[in-house]
Structure 1
Amino acid sequence: MTQHTRVLVLGGGPAGSVAATALAQQGIAVQLIESAQFPRYHIGESLTPSCRTILEQIGVAKKLDAHGFVIKHGGAFRWDDDSWVFDWGAQIGSRSWQVDRAEFDLLLANHARDNGVAVTMGVTAKKVVFAGDRPTSVQCDDQDGNSFTVDDFDFLIDATGRNGLLSAQHFKDRHPHVNLRNVAIWGYWRGAKVLPDTPTGGINIISTPEGWFWIIPLSGGRTSVGFVTGKDTFAELRRGHDTLDDIFLSLVKNSPAVRDLVADAEYLGTARVETDYSYVGGRFGGPGYMIVGDAACFLDPLLSSGVHLALYSAFNAAASIASVSRGEVSETEALTYFEFAYRRAYTRLLALVSVMYERYLGKDGFFHTSDRLVDTSGTGERAKSLSFVEIIAGVSDMREAQDASTRVLTERLVDEAFQVQERVSVVDGRPDFSSVLENPLRDAESSEYRLVTTPRLGLKRVFADAER
């Protein structure tokens, strides 16, 4: 670690690797440290088209295509009494992948190395030391238990995932989503089917009275099958079964639709479970640092938003830091843009995910909410489900980051999220508005900058476009 490190990235998952690669491609020296030795298992296999857009920008999409991951063209919902299909190729002209995260994350980390990032595995960041409001050093342990300090950096990116070195451990300002107190349990099958009319390589979302299933086809004939339900319901299930496999297999058996899809398949075991995964940090950045991916926030598996938010935040962080390093914007301006862009994407998904758990609304209610969560002015007559498709594809976030003329009205977006929270978030018998009330979008009219990728990655002032 003798190389001068302008940017230190903590965490080598998708957010950390993408941020590091994008910065290195702008000629910035980057050091990335990761606690694990890759490859390592991680859940989160279904990617959105926005991920492809970003991965194309950093030159790794062709490697993913060649690797053999399942190409994902959309999916099919069977939600309560409604069924509908989304076809990304036909509706938005794009596609993505279903990935094995162990292979995907390793591929991204290796791509970072190939682009000049100094990647070190087996090093755990334990504590960030601040001088005033700015981080100045990071205390680390290597895999042999040796302690040392890294202090040769100008800017820090926290991509430590759910561990949340800054949000959860240093600032202690992470707040759980009380209306998303869910548990996910999942396992793998070989030879499972998907619902009829599912686009090639597509995901299935199938609801039950107690929750919902995901069905994700993977390479090698394997399928990821998972179930999401409330914590109280899962606690009851645990009391009635001896093992996680018993719980999982009983859930599959009790769903006629899912039972049919795995009827001729082989269960590969062993069931896994995650809980307490829906949260948001009180800040996404500050002087000398930005928090990206799961280190900042995570919603729910329902719309496969995890990797989208990770890559979206990482790419915007890299653009912001690159513009600061070139003197194009001040650090304060870049931090304002980053917080605004990331928080806007998170807020929109919070509203849509939350409203989908309001089961009585039906698909028309979901589509109506989606229309209100994007700026459709000047787009002409739109297909009924197009706004919904654009949101779950990450297209709306990418468009608004890059095109100043299509910025959603933030007041409308936040009000919609507030109304959803009012209906579904209850603590001690009262509505809980904390995640919306603390959202800085409520006090911001818009960002003064937009993301640009040509002639180089960075930020550009919106009013500069208007003056041309």
Structure 2
Amino acid sequence: MGNNPHVLVIGGGPGGSTVAALLARSGVRVTLLERDKFPRYHIGESLLASVLSTLRLSGAYDAVAAHGFQIKRGGYFQWQNDTWRLDWSQLVDAEAWSWQVDRAEFDEILLRNATEQGAEVIEQATVREIIFDGERPTSVEWTLLGDDTVRTTEFDFLVDASGRDGLLAKRHFGMRRQHPAFRNVAVWSYWEGAQLHPDSPEGAINVTSTEEGGWFWNIPLAGGRNSVGYVVSARKAAEKLRTGELQSYYLETLGDSKPLSEMLAGATQVAEVKAEQDYSYVSDRFCGPGYALVGDSAAFLDPLLSTGVHLATYGGLVAAAAIATTLRGEMPEEEALAFYQDTARRAYTRFLVLVSRMYEQYIGSDEYFAHAKDLTAEHAGDTPEASFTRIMAGLTDVNESEGQQQRTDTGALVSEVENLHSESANLEYMGHLDMSVVWDHWRDPLADIEIEGLRVATEPVLGLTRRARTEQEVAAVARPVLAPKDAETPAR
């Protein structure tokens, strides 16, 4: 490895852009190859509160905050016979909030931020081949749109943030596993003039279950549009999908739901119907010699709890810290990547547990919220409903500590997950996981994150360390200012 190590990032979505920006800010030479030309369309508009702190660390926060996205302060769930009003300001923190975003605009802000932080970003660049030296990737061959010339770029470390394409996990290693329990299809479109349930917190995502085991989302976006979609077992929608009757199936399903019919009364559909299926999967490993998988390239669970951008940016933060530490020669690569593997898998698996119970074992909100509380060991005074809301806001993942904070029963939690899917999903990979789950701190999301003595540090540069954090580091990840209640795009 030379004096000026080079990191190549494949993919410019939230995970790839976050890694690239953070590494560039740390003084690492970074090249990012993105297949598309931004802005480009992407589904997944509802952000968790945890995203704000990562945006601040990456340098993208001010641009996102100034853009005018819809403020989001929680969720409103009508699930089976229960109603959950999950107001973050009441159940989590008076200043807990995030955004509902147009992903084309949001993702472009993050990609441009990577350039501003010093990364070289090349769009419309398609990676054709990854070249290995033994188990370690060393270069890629790629082409630009409209030019058949094959270019070769060498690097010291590779970040695969290629999303569902999964260049490493799916194409090269063949180590991506579908979740049989979540073989769902999502069908959605956009509306003008739609309403949220009148009891919703400001800008809240509305989630409504159906008798056939599916559920709707209704997400308010800036400019008076709403994203409205339906998720159901692909088996139940198979005939409609084969015949291509998406529009009629979509409208028929909406019409069969009293809550959705009321929300869409007088509204106008303003976009064609889109659909995706078989999007729930996980890779056997998230890293290896000279490479790391970040975001959807590593895993994607399910849209139910809006975890996609959260897991991508959080994973990008931890991966960048591990990579930077290794490239500076401060820690063996294997040890630093093990830290990333553990933290990223914990975050993913926590949501797997909650989503699994909603789909397979939901018997009422009292039982469900009580289970969410069992996934935590801090904030002992929280009600079970508050425990669920903290997890749903994404405010649980970055504070997995030892020492002062109590750990949950790892074996019991692993056993429960395996029982949930013993007949329907392959969860062999979970046998080795440390499933300790504790609360993070909204004001300071990196406080006390520690695995076997390691933690993420932000000063003097981003990396992993065994020392206590400084006051400057604490300030660097302090909570962003309270979003105004009179935001330009209030919930309708």
Give me the TM-score of the superposition, normalised by structure 1: 0.91
Contact 2:137 2:290 in 1 (8 A): yes
CA distance in 1, matches of 2:50, 2:418: 26
Which residue is equivalent to 2:227?
224
Which residue is equivalent to 1:30?
30
**SS of aligned partner of 1:201:** coil
| Structure number with higher helix proportion | 1
* Correspondence 1:301-380 to 2 at 5 A: 301-358=303-360, 360-376=362-378, 379-380=379-380
C-alpha distance after superposition, 1:186-235 (max 9, x if no partner): 00000100012111111001000120000000011000000000011111
Aligned residue type for 1:416: E
Which residue is equivalent to 1:429?
none
Which residue is equivalent to 1:385?
385
Contact 1:343 1:439 in 2 (8 A): no
Aligned mate of 2:150, from 143, 148, 166: 148
CA distance in 2, matches of 1:24, 1:402: 31
CA distance in 1, matches of 2:174, 2:63: 38
C-alpha distance after superposition, 1:154-179 (max 9, x if no partner): 11000000000000000001100011
CA distance in 1, matches of 2:346, 2:233: 26
Aligned mate of 2:427, from 426, 429, 435: 435
CA distance in 2, matches of 1:47, 1:402: 29
Which residue is equivalent to 1:124?
126
Contact 1:280 1:435 in 2 (8 A): no
C-alpha distance after superposition, 1:37-80 (max 9, x if no partner): 00110101000011112112222222112101001110100000
Which residue is equivalent to 1:89?
89
CA distance in 1, matches of 2:48, 2:362: 27
**SS of aligned partner of 2:311:** helix
**SS of aligned partner of 1:233:** helix
Instruction: Report how far residue 368 of structure 1 moved.
Output: 2.1
CA distance in 1, matches of 2:359, 2:33: 38
Q: Which moved more, 1:148-157 or 1:295-304?
A: 148-157
Which residue is equivalent to 1:459?
464
Q: Which moved more, 1:153-162 or 1:447-456?
A: 447-456
Instruction: Report how far residue 149 of structure 1 moved.
Output: 3.9
Instruction: Report how far residue 442 of structure 1 moved.
Output: 5.9
C-alpha distance after superposition, 1:117-149 (max 9, x if no partner): 100001011221111111011111210142434
**SS of aligned partner of 1:71:** strand
C-alpha distance after superposition, 1:7-51 (max 9, x if no partner): 100000000000000111111111101000001101010000111
Q: Does the alignment pair 1:106 with 2:98?
A: no
Contact 1:122 1:142 in 2 (8 A): yes
* Correspondence 1:172-251 to 2 at 5 A: 172-210=174-212, 211-238=214-241, 243-251=245-253
Contact 2:457 2:469 in 1 (8 A): no
Which residue is equivalent to 2:451?
447
Which residue is equivalent to 1:44?
44
Q: CA RMSD in A?
A: 2.4
CA distance in 2, matches of 1:380, 1:60: 34
Which residue is equivalent to 2:280?
278
CA distance in 1, matches of 2:271, 2:203: 22
Q: 1:359 to 1:262 in 2, by over 3 A?
A: farther
Contact 2:240 2:246 in 1 (8 A): no
**SS of aligned partner of 1:137:** strand
CA distance in 2, matches of 1:406, 1:115: 38
CA distance in 2, matches of 1:5, 1:149: 19
Which residue is equivalent to 1:394?
394
**SS of aligned partner of 2:350:** helix
Aligned residue type for 2:461: R
CA distance in 2, matches of 1:311, 1:215: 23
CA distance in 1, matches of 2:128, 2:60: 30
Unaligned runs of 5+ in 1: 427-431
CA distance in 1, matches of 2:140, 2:77: 45
Contact 2:12 2:34 in 1 (8 A): yes
Contact 1:4 1:29 in 2 (8 A): yes
Q: 1:53 to 1:256 in 2, by over 3 A?
A: same
Which residue is equivalent to 1:56?
56
CA distance in 2, matches of 1:328, 1:368: 43
Contact 2:190 2:225 in 1 (8 A): yes
Contact 1:8 1:32 in 2 (8 A): yes
Instruction: Report how far residue 371 of structure 1 moved.
Output: 1.7
Q: 1:90 to 1:360 in 2, by over 3 A?
A: closer
CA distance in 1, matches of 2:262, 2:244: 25
- Alignment: residue pair count: 452
Aligned residue type for 1:318: A
Which residue is equivalent to 2:267?
265
